[in-house]
């Protein structure tokens, strides 16, 4: 709870001055909760508020939030309207196509949201019933694009490569593409897309940039977590090992290091032995909820 002054939420929205414009997503099944959170964001200098209408998890849906909001379109629209009236910030909505294939409400909701002044919607092209299974439904996203006049529709789901980003744009007519897991696997995907648009070729990060990225990640963790940063950083060892092609013995040291000095020694060794192991997109490291969606 952002406004309560304690808890982990404040830690989650902590950021740096460069991270602008910054919009924060909030969720609740209760309008007054959403308004309090949005007002807090406005008072604390954030630049946008996004409402979560896509989360499939039982603890969020059970209290009427996340994708559950898509089941009662009138009350969802009233809720968003009240939120827009309560803040000056642009309000956006993130949703799925609907609750299940018999209840595809995203086009209707998007059209209504446009009427009440929502700034943009992001559509994950699956229903809540699909969870993260099956392929994303680009045709479903296109139907949302066709349901609105000028409000930007941001298409989302399964974009992992530059080609998939372009395919999403072409097949849906969306204004932009949002990339989730693809960016967690490969943070350079945005630059690849941008350079492909500008020059026709995807710019690859060189060895120095890759190492700088790793070092900066650790430095930022030190700023945020001080003494805990070595232990917290270790959980990224496998990701960096695969993504940067770090030799396995050094990846193993990255998994166990205890001091900043030790970290620097590992970096120096990685720099010397760059290219020994092939780089690989670490797809096996992606975790999504599993089993029947009713039990999530």
Ligand X SMILES: Cc1cc2nc3c(=O)[nH]c(=O)nc-3n(C[C@H](O)[C@H](O)[C@H](O)COP(=O)(O)O)c2cc1C
* Active site (catalytic) residues: 55
Among residues 65 and 182, whose Cβ is nearest to ligand X? 182
Q: State yes or no: residue 161 binds ligand X (CB under 6 A).
A: no
Smallest gap from Cβ 25 to ligand X, in A, equals: 5
Region 270-289 residues binding ligand X, contact defined as CB under 6 A: 288
Q: Which stretch binds ligand X (CB under 6 A): 79-87, 150-158, 208-216, 272-280?
A: 150-158
Residue 23: CB atoms within 10 A of its CB come to: 16
Q: Which of 36, 51, 54, 270 binds ligand X (CB under 6 A)?
A: 54
Residue showing tokens 């919607």:
121
Among residues 50 and 251, whose Cβ is nearest to ligand X? 50
Q: How far is CA 160 from CA 125, 177, 210, 239, 282, in A?
A: 15, 11, 19, 16, 12
Backbone φ/ψ region at 30: left (φ over 0), alpha (ψ -120 to 50), beta: beta
Q: State yes or no: residue 131 binds ligand X (CB under 6 A).
A: no
Q: State yes or no: residue 156 binds ligand X (CB under 6 A).
A: yes
Q: Which of 2, 106, 114, 158 binds ligand X (CB under 6 A)?
A: 158
Helix, strand, or coil here: 123?
strand
User: Comparing C-alpha atoms, which of 73, 72, 155, 86 is closest to residue 117?
Assistant: 86
Q: State yes or no: residue 134 binds ligand X (CB under 6 A).
A: no
Q: What is the largest CA-CA distance in the chain?
A: 61
The H or E element spanning position 96 is strand 91-98
Among residues 130 and 210, whose Cβ is nearest to ligand X? 130
Lay out the site mask for ligand X across 169-198 (x = CB under 6 A, - = otherwise). ----------xxxx----------------
Please name the residue ranges forming H helices in 226-291. 229-233, 237-244, 248-254, 260-272
Among residues 52 and 254, whose Cβ is nearest to ligand X? 52
Residues forming the site for ligand X (CB under 6 A): 25, 52, 54-55, 94, 124, 156-159, 179-182, 288
């Amino acid at each position: 709870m952002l406004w309560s002054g304690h808890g982990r939420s404040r830690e989650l929205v902590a950021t740096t001055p460069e991270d602008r414009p910054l919009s924060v997503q909030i969720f609740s099944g209760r309008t007054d909760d959403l308004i309090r959170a949005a007002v807090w964001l406005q008072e604390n200098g954030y630049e946008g508020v996004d409402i979560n209408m896509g989360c499939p998890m039982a603890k969020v849906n059970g209290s009427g939030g996340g994708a559950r909001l898509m089941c009662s379109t009138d009350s969802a629209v009233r809720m968003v309207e009240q939120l827009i009236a309560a803040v000056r910030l642009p309000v956006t909505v993130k949703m799925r196509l609907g609750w299940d294939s018999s209840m595809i409400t995203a086009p209707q909701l998007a059209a209504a949201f446009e009427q009440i002044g929502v700034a943009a919607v992001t559509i994950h092209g699956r229903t809540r019933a699909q969870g993260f299974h099956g392929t994303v439904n680009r045709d479903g996203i296109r139907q949302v694009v066709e349901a609105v006049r000028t409000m930007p529709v941001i298409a989302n789901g399964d974009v992992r490569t530059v080609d998939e980003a372009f395919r999403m744009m072409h097949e849906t007519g969306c204004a932009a593409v949002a990339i989730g897991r693809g960016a967690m696997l490969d943070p350079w995907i945005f630059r690849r897309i941008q350079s492909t648009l500008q020059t026709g070729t995807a710019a690859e990060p060189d060895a120095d940039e890759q190492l700088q990225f790793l070092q900066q990640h650790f430095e930022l963790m030190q700023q945020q977590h001080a003494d805990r940063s070595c232990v917290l950083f270790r959980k990224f060892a496998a990701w960096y090992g695969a993504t940067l092609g770090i030799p396995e013995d050094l990846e193993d040291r990255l998994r166990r290091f205890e001091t900043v000095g030790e970290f620097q020694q590992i970096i120096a060794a990685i720099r010397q032995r760059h290219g020994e192991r092939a780089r690989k997109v670490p797809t096996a490291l992606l975790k999504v909820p599993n089993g029947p969606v009713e039990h999530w």
